[in-house]
Amino acid sequence: MIRINEIRLGLDEEEELLKDKAAKVLKVNPKYIKSWSIYRKSVDARKKDDVHFTYSLDVEITLDENQIVAKCKSGKAQLVKPYVYEMPANNRVSSFRPIVVGFGPAGMFAGLILAQAGLRPIILERGKDVDSRTADVNRFWKTRVLDEESNVQFGEGGAGTFSDGKLTTGIKSPYIRKILDELYKAGAPEEILYSSKPHIGTDRLVIVVKNIRKEIERLGGEVWLECRLEKLICANGFVHGVTYSKHGEPFDLETDSVIMAIGHSARDTVEMLYKLGVDIMQKPFSVGARIEHPQRLINEAQYGAFANHPKLGAADYKLACHGLHERGAYTFCMCPGGTVVAAASEKEGVIVNGMSSLARDGKNANSALLVGIEPKDFPSEHPLAGIYYQREIEHKAFLLGGGDYRAPAQLVGDFLKGVESKALGEVEPTCPTGVTLTNLDGVLPQKVGATMKSAIVEMDKKLHGFNLYDAVLTAPETRSSSSVRILRDDLMQCNIRGVYPCGEGAGYAGGIISAAVDGVKCAHAVLGDEH
């Protein structure tokens, strides 16, 4: 197969032209192209007067491909082998079924791989099925009455279900393609297979999550919902089982392999592991707020005169400012045409996140604007001090917002001046529990607030309009990543043998794809366990 990079297509050109453009690069007649497919598609908006698409194509031809690539003498063409996922050998000799704790991206893919390998995993998820969970979340947003076991953080699909479904990642792994293929088979749009910035959307994620669960069950695995892990049963440094509860009643389950894909908000589970003697260390995390602009402003800033072109859709951005302090400030999980999400999972705590539907057709754009927090900033050297610091900020936000899960918010212009906001401008905040206008200096750590203010000014130089006075900051965003790392060795196990810390909650991932990849790796480790 030949991969051809950097094929340009104008916004008003149709993709049918790609075959002829590929033939031109290879210097062959188009009739010799047996098949072609899009490997990567991206928008090139570096020049605002020349916005276009750039493609990489995978092409099969009826001629000698080695000879053609050598003769065309183009740096754009190279021979490649199609990716094929290979399941590792199953060296496991245990007769016990492996247990996976958590059914977010890490737990889903750990469970799926184990099921495909024939190990019939049992997956424990403390929250409800995705439909019941969605109803509970909508009820919280409407009534501001929180269910601590069924919310944006807990339930089938994990925290990623109520997000943009963004599939971009900074990691490199051969398993990414396997994950994208499985998501596509489960109902994600085909574009995720080749888009340079793939996303599924909250509305489509619900379908995908259910289909992955059904596939695990079809293969002999089981997903036990509303089953919360209470403790690990251990002896002589090995795990021998788990205790879980369903509707308040405890049950024991024997096993010798537990993948802990608990997510970044299962703080009670982390505390249980710490008391059990599991090695845990502090990890840097980030704090900030969601910043909302009119989507129209972002489109114009990114695409200029092409802003309203129907093929472009809602524009996104990714910004960073380094040197403001150790870790600087950056935007994260940008949601074009999206909404801010009230994402609390604990009583008397307020946190926000962002999400978009597949269409990304909302009136506002939002993104997290985050500042790195180092362990030296934590209130103590306790391994869980980061969790306690997060909880303290979230409780402050709860009180500042009015004590009823409304989120504290402030206009960007007022934030830069350090004065309390009294009235909204042109941007209507989308947080579904509502907002309380205030001064965010009352909730954000001083270093975080100061760094954010400098960053907004600097980022406006890169994205005109970013410091729009009427843009709205809604706080706090505290759970972009875990504040702990549960230590594991080269066999992916912690100091209790048979326990595999996994994914974002264990400190080894930072998004849907990286968490899913870690789930695959932990499943492989279980397959390789010969004891």
Query: What are 441-488's pLDDT values in tens digits?
Result: 999 999 999 999 999 999 999 999 999 999 999 999 999 989 999 999
- Burial code (b: 16+ CB inside 10 Å, e: under 16) for 345-356 equals bbeebbbbbbbb
3-state SS class at 289: strand
Kindly give the pairing relationship between strand 407-411 and strand 320-321: unpaired
- How far is CA 154 from each of CA 193, 267, 298, 349, 432, rounded to the nearest angstrom? 28, 12, 32, 15, 18
Structure tokens, 355: 């999400």
What is the residue type of 371? V
Instruction: Give the pLDDT confidence of 493-531 residue by residue, as tens digits.
Output: 999 999 999 999 999 998 899 999 999 999 999 999 765
pLDDT tens-digit series, residues 123-175: 999 999 999 999 999 999 999 999 999 999 999 999 888 876 778 888 889 99
Residue 449 to residue 475: CA distance in whole angstroms:
11
289-311 pLDDT, tens per residue? 999 999 999 999 999 999 989 99
pTM of the model: 0.94
Q: Residue 152 corresponds to which tokens in the numbers above?
A: 């944006």
Give the containing element (helix H, strand E) for 385. Answer: helix 385-400
- Taking only the tens place, the pLDDT of each residue in 57-84 is 999 999 999 999 888 888 899 999 988 9
In 3D space, the residue among 105, 89, 479, 480 whose CA is nearest the CA of residue 259 turns out to be: 105
Beta-strand pair 407-411/435-437:
parallel
